[in-house]
Amino acid sequence: MDTTLKINGEERVLQADPRTSLLDALRHHLGLTGSKKGCDHGQCGACTVIVNGRRINSCLTLACMHDGDEITTVEGLGTPEALSPMQQAFVTHDGYQCGYCTPGQICSATAMLEEVAQGWPSHASADLSGGMELTDAEISERMSGNLCRCAAYPNIVDAIRDAAGKGER
Amino acid sequence: MTAHMKMDSPDERNRLDHMAQGSVGAPLDRPEGKLKVSGRATYANEDHPEGTLHGVLVRAPVGAGKVRDVGRADVMALEGVRAVITDPRLLRNPAQGTADAAPIQGCDEIAYLGQPVALVVAESFEQARHGAQALRLTIDGGAAAIDPEADDAEIERPEKKQSSQGDLDSAMSQAAYTVDQTYHTAPNSSAAMEPHASVARWDGDMLELRGSYQMLNYNINELADSLGIDAEQIHLLSPYVGGGFGSKLGIAPEAVAAAIAAKELGVPVSVAMTRQQVFEATMRRSETRQRVRLAADAEGKLTGIGHEARVSQLPGESFSEPVTQATPFLYAGAHRVIGHEIARVNRTCAGSVRAPGEAVGLAVLEVAMDELSEAAGIDPVELRLRNIPERDPTKDIPFSSHVLAQALTEGAERFGWSERSKRPGTVREGEWMIGMGMASAVRSNIMQEAAARVTLQPGGRAVVETDMTDIGTGTYAVLTQIASEMLGLPMDRVETRLGDSAFPRGSGSGGSWGAGSNGTSVFLACEELRRQIAGRIGCDEAEMTLKDGTVTAGNVRRDLSELLDTPLSAVGQGEPGDTYKSHRQATYGSYFAEVAVNSVTGETRVRRMLGVFGAGRILNPKTARSQCIGGMTFGIGIALTEEIVHDMRDGHVVNRDLAEYHLPVNADVPQIDVMLLDERDPYSNPLQAKGIGELGICGAAGAIGNAIYNACGVRVRSFPMTLDTILEGLGD
């Protein structure tokens, strides 16, 4: 079946089996292998992409459910020649090792900062009505849906602080 | 030309200290980083040639038995299905690290639940997955042995894995203080983020396989042996590996299945394991039962150490978790017993998971040391300082370098160890009980044969090539840095190409030997190139300075690119030699942890953690620090959350996904502090560097266990120390 997706600003028509997950559509039909498959069950976050401004696990949703949606993958955030501030911060702070969870971490972190800016509280927030400080605890809590077995977590926190303009601790 | 070196004598030239570029030892960014963060680094299952079919493995649903029929016809009739592969060459389980030959093969005899018994290939992934689910296996069930502690368990006690020195029993009876306890550690999974995957393509009798593997130098022979072809017919590619931690050391079932299917169908075939299959059909770290005996005199000096372990393994596999690897030489003591038992069970194959041996063996030994410090009333740091041996107490040979004392004292100072309450359970913050614990770190250092080619191009750029891999360890960074340093070229004028079997054979990534072994081969190739350059300007190599693409010697100053009108190439080849036997080589360190244990729920939170490590020359402090943080986080997992649960009826892995097998997540890990000690080990290699990839996990879990005891006074003797185990000790 045909599905029209606006991916990284470009309209793409997908012809695929209706069982095809958004993740497999990106990786194996549309040539965008930046989004990774770590578990295919929404448990690791390696497949995180941004759909209509919100981060989601692309393995947990079917591509055909996203007709007309705007999708941003890690490839759409920046290129090796022109990295986004978040991507550059991950390089600077060694916020990765093997790099497999990294695109998901970066998509997640990018959308997460927007959630904080909009005042969405988390488990780590002192006040549910918004206006929270972007502390290490806030970052760690909000990034805990993205597993990293190399365990670059402290460096990921540093990278996100940097990209958010929080400076040195 | 080839520059060959055997490590028969110490290299005290410290040449890297006398180079001018300043790349080695600098905290540089990974050169491949921009590709990784922008999604352009291509991993195993990301380069599908036109017309690639998809294969999905089918698992055995019982722990023992024989497959009589797979119901092929019904599945072949499904839309898109192109083949149902059952082939005697399919692998029962992956090859062990450095096996260099096929593991046990065959898909009829079932040895464990989850064993791959067939491959369904279809035009789309969805069709193949449906076909694999629809396959109806007819199986004659057999009797599976699941419990390694069963009374009738088949137990082996290999003679070469037992040793005894002196008389431990009398040392125990004469000691002022003793510990005699039994501990358990749970089975663990490497759980690398990238599931195993291979894409196979044949061109006539030539196979190209793109996989996710750690050791192409061995994998190529394992794959050839599995398929019954020559290694010369295989081109293996693993330029990016999404984590390994031991699980991708040996060729695995999906690679052989993909190659067989691609040959049979005449088109490329991709086979990716599901996360569940990774848990069931790759490798696990065996559970362990460990009895530790410690005997000490009135001053806390050890007179005897006993360390006896039982682990488990599938029938027919020679690897067994080397639990006691560090016990023969970490601490002094004249009387020593090492014991090792293997229970043969029908469970997922046991293999190397990050730091096989020390990761769980040292964690337990260090809890026992904490128990001894408690019994003797001696501070845990002081107790360890009193037991550092002058020489390897088992082999009676000198140490190559030894920084345990420094790691202990500097770590204690940096962490604020003196603030620790000596009495357990006395520091409270509301319902949280706060405690500190520490442990020693040690990991044997190993050098492996490795080769690399370095080519200087006329434009004044260098290319490093080896089939070595970068599994996140920083190989791209450190090999680029070594070539940059030795050839006096800025980092962006050196390109390192890895993970291609067409390149010279490296050491592979494993055993923490990658940076030292492959770094040596790059160093040797560059030394040869330096000699060639010196010859062209007529000076002595040692008097020549290379920096920023310029050659300076005496009053001669030339641009490197002027000296090259054709590419200049050298292969460096290093191998271990006498220094490996003449000196005990190991890396050392210490851990300090502060935890909070909840008095109501029994939950443990790690609040602070410090690791101090000495691993010879640190080639890149940025990537080395990351390795240590990663290792310590594995330690947090072993200590608190990670446990493969086998169903005792059929052996199946109950928690075979990332929701039920609990890796530490971001919120479980504090901003870990790492201190790297400045050290040179001339016996290790010409870089004076030792491996650091596994050091950070060795013993780390013990520090957390000891902190839990200090926090709440509950001595848990099983890992992971989950809420229930702590609550049980807290009582009412």
Domain co-membership, B663 together with B701: yes
Domain co-membership, A151 together with A96: yes
List the Cα angle B151/B154/B159 in 5-degree steps: 120
Q: CB distance B272–A24 less than 8 Å?
A: no
**A52-60 mean pLDDT:** 98
B661 within some domain: yes
Domain co-membership, A32 together with A90: no
Q: How many domains does chain A have?
A: 2
- pLDDT, residue A130, reads 77
Q: CB distance A41–B658 less than 8 Å?
A: yes
Chain centroid offset of residue B190 CA: 9
Domain co-membership, B437 together with B465: no
Our CA-based measurement puts residue B473 at a distance from the nearest CA of chain A, in whole angstroms, of 6
B727 pLDDT higher than 80 = yes
Residues of B in contact with A27 (CB under 8 A): 45-46
Domain co-membership, A47 together with A95: no
What amino acid occupies position B226?
Answer: S
B729 pLDDT higher than 90 = yes
B614 within some domain: yes
B389 within some domain: yes
A167 pLDDT higher than 80 = no
Residue B694 annotated to the active site: yes
Cis status, amide bond into B720, omega within 30 of 0: yes
pTM: 0.98
Distance between CA atoms of A161 and A143, rounded to whole angstroms? 12
CATH code, A43: 3.10.20.30
- pLDDT, residue A168, reads 67
Cα separations in angstroms, B184 against A105, B337, B365, B623, B711? 35, 19, 11, 33, 21
Cα separations in angstroms, B355 against A13, B8, B210, B310? 48, 26, 26, 18
CATH code, A95: 1.10.150.120
Domain co-membership, A9 together with A66: yes
Residues of A in contact with B126 (CB under 8 A): 17, 19-20, 24
The shortest CB-CB distance from A147 to any of B43, B193, B632 is to B193
Domain co-membership, A89 together with A157: yes
Domain co-membership, B528 together with B587: no
Domain co-membership, A117 together with A141: yes
Phi, psi dihedral angles at B697 (to 5 degrees): -100, -20
Domain co-membership, A49 together with A89: no
Active-site residue among B358, B679, B694, B728? Answer: B694
Residue pairs between chains A and B whose CB atoms are closer than 8 Å: 197
Q: Is any Cβ of chain A less than 8 angstroms from the Cβ of B482? A: no
Domain co-membership, B552 together with B596: no
pLDDT band at B320 (very low <50, low <70, confident <90, very high): very high
Domain termination residue (choose one: B513, B547, B575):
B575
Provide the pairing of β-strand B494-497 with B461-465: parallel
Domain co-membership, B589 together with B662: yes
Domain co-membership, B442 together with B454: no
Domain termination residue (choose one: B542, B575, B608):
B575
Domain co-membership, A89 together with A39: no
Domain co-membership, B602 together with B712: yes
Q: Is any Cβ of chain A less than 8 angstroms from the Cβ of B474? A: yes
pLDDT, tens digit (0-9, with 9 covering 90-100), for A133-150: 999 999 999 999 999 999
What amino acid occupies position B387?
Answer: N
Q: CB distance A41–B659 less than 8 Å?
A: yes
Q: Which residue of A has its CA nearest to B193?
A: A38
pLDDT, tens digit (0-9, with 9 covering 90-100), for B517-567: 999 999 999 999 999 999 999 999 999 999 999 999 999 999 999 999 999
Q: CB distance B34–A80 less than 8 Å?
A: yes
**B335-351 mean pLDDT:** 98
Our CA-based measurement puts residue A14 at a distance from the nearest CA of chain B, in whole angstroms, of 14
Domain co-membership, B725 together with B605: yes
Please say whether the beta carbons of B170 and B672 come within 8 A.
no
pLDDT, tens digit (0-9, with 9 covering 90-100), for B233-260: 999 999 999 999 999 999 999 999 999 9
B689 pLDDT higher than 80 = yes
A115 within some domain: yes
Q: CB distance A139–B666 less than 8 Å?
A: yes
- pLDDT, residue B731, reads 81
Q: Is any Cβ of chain A less than 8 angstroms from the Cβ of B32? A: yes
Domain co-membership, B465 together with B557: yes
Q: CB distance A147–B633 less than 8 Å?
A: no
Sign of the dihedral defined by the CA atoms of residues B143, B108, B274, B506, in that order: positive
* Domain of residue B607, residue span: 354-446+582-730
First to last CA, chain A: 51
pLDDT, tens digit (0-9, with 9 covering 90-100), for B370-392: 999 999 999 999 999 999 999 99
Domain co-membership, B651 together with B534: no
pLDDT, tens digit (0-9, with 9 covering 90-100), for B173-203: 999 999 999 999 999 999 999 999 999 999 9
Domain termination residue (choose one: A17, A50, A73):
A73
A129 pLDDT higher than 90 = no
B262 within some domain: no
A79 within some domain: no
B356 pLDDT higher than 80 = yes
Domain co-membership, B548 together with B641: no
Distance between CA atoms of B6 and B1, rounded to whole angstroms? 17
Domain co-membership, B565 together with B479: yes
B302 within some domain: no
A67 within some domain: yes
Domain co-membership, A68 together with A108: no
The shortest CB-CB distance from A157 to any of B36, B272, B671 is to B671
Q: Is any Cβ of chain A less than 8 angstroms from the Cβ of B134? A: no
Domain termination residue (choose one: A24, A49, A73):
A73
**B683-690 mean pLDDT:** 98
pLDDT, tens digit (0-9, with 9 covering 90-100), for B52-65: 999 999 999 999 99
Residue A34: HSE in the Cβ half-sphere, 13 Å Cα cutoff: 29
Which ipTM value was assigned to this complex? 0.99
Q: CB distance A90–B37 less than 8 Å?
A: yes
Residues of B in contact with A103 (CB under 8 A): 37, 39
Our CA-based measurement puts residue B179 at a distance from the nearest CA of chain A, in whole angstroms, of 34
Which of the 8 DSSP states describes residue B659? T
Q: Is any Cβ of chain A less than 8 angstroms from the Cβ of B671? A: yes
B732 pLDDT higher than 90 = no
Distance between CA atoms of A74 and A91, rounded to whole angstroms? 14
Distance between CA atoms of B729 and B732, rounded to whole angstroms? 9
B490 within some domain: yes
Domain co-membership, A54 together with A94: no
A166 pLDDT higher than 90 = no
CATH code, B463: 3.30.365.10
pLDDT band at B423 (very low <50, low <70, confident <90, very high): very high
**B82-96 mean pLDDT:** 98
Q: Is any Cβ of chain A less than 8 angstroms from the Cβ of B622? A: yes
Residue with tokens 């599905």: A3
Please say whether the beta carbons of B56 and B120 come within 8 A.
yes
Domain co-membership, A93 together with A155: yes
Share of chain B above pLDDT 70, in %: 100
Please say whether the beta carbons of B280 and B114 come within 8 A.
yes
Quote the mean pLDDT of chain B: 97
Q: CB distance A75–B626 less than 8 Å?
A: no
Cα separations in angstroms, A68 against A11, A37, B587? 9, 23, 56
Q: Is any Cβ of chain A less than 8 angstroms from the Cβ of B663? A: yes
Domain co-membership, A51 together with A106: no
Which of the 8 DSSP states describes residue B353? -
Residue with tokens 């976050």: A45
Domain termination residue (choose one: B547, B575, B603):
B575
B552 within some domain: yes
Q: Which residue of B has its CA nearest to A98?
A: B472
Domain termination residue (choose one: A73, A97, A117):
A73
A51 within some domain: yes
* Domain of residue A119, residue span: 85-163
Contacts of A161 (CB under 8 A, 6+ apart): A134, A136, A139, A167, A169
B99 pLDDT higher than 70 = yes
Q: How many domains does chain B have?
A: 2
B59 within some domain: no
